[in-house]
Amino acid sequence: MENKEDFLIKKSTMIRKNECKIDDVYKIAKKPLGTGAYGVVSLCVHKQTKQERAVKKVAKKKIKNMERFEQEIKILQMLDHPNILKLYEYFEDEKNVYLVTEICKGGELFDRIIENEFFSEPVAARIFKQIL
């Protein structure tokens, strides 16, 4: 008998772990789009469809709580909203987990705040509404 969470995941999403090697499915750009505390984000192109996507490479050794990380992937699998990053699929090898997502080209909110030095209340309200 499967648990309720697993049942919901199977019923609510087509997003699955891809058992292939990521390099067999995507051509990954050498130059990263960005880096963060947990990984590097690069542009990738699906070899068959030619769709551009982003791939976040997360080193397993940097994942302190694998169970929590897997739970975050399950949550992303269930979400489908225009203001939430879309996860297409994910891969895993012995050293890394690769999250293939849509590309977000709008830049960092923090950088926008710094550039403008000050947000008016209406602008801040609009951004906050988009975040929510």
pLDDT tens sequence across 54-87 = 999 999 999 999 999 989 888 888 888 887 889 9
125 by DSSP, 3-state: which? Answer: helix
Q: Which residues pair with 97 in a beta bridge?
A: 58, 92
Rg of the chain's alpha carbons, rounded to an integer?
17
What is the per-residue pLDDT for 67?
92
pLDDT at 128: 81
Segment 122-132 mean pLDDT: 81
* pLDDT band per the 50, 70, 90 thresholds, residue 13: low
Closest CA to 106 of 130, 72, 76, 132: 130
pLDDT for 117: 65
Given a cut of 70, whether residue 118 has pLDDT beyond it is: no
Burial 91-114 (b: 16+ CB within 10 A, else e): beeeebbbbbbebeeeeeeeeeee
For residue 46, pLDDT beyond 90: yes
Q: Residue 16: its pLDDT value, please?
A: 74
Q: Is the pLDDT of residue 10 over 70?
A: no
Q: What is the pTM of this model?
A: 0.75
Distance CA 130, CA 109 (A): 12
**Which CATH class for the 4-105 domain?**
alpha beta
Backbone phi, then psi, for 45, in 5-degree steps?
-125, 130
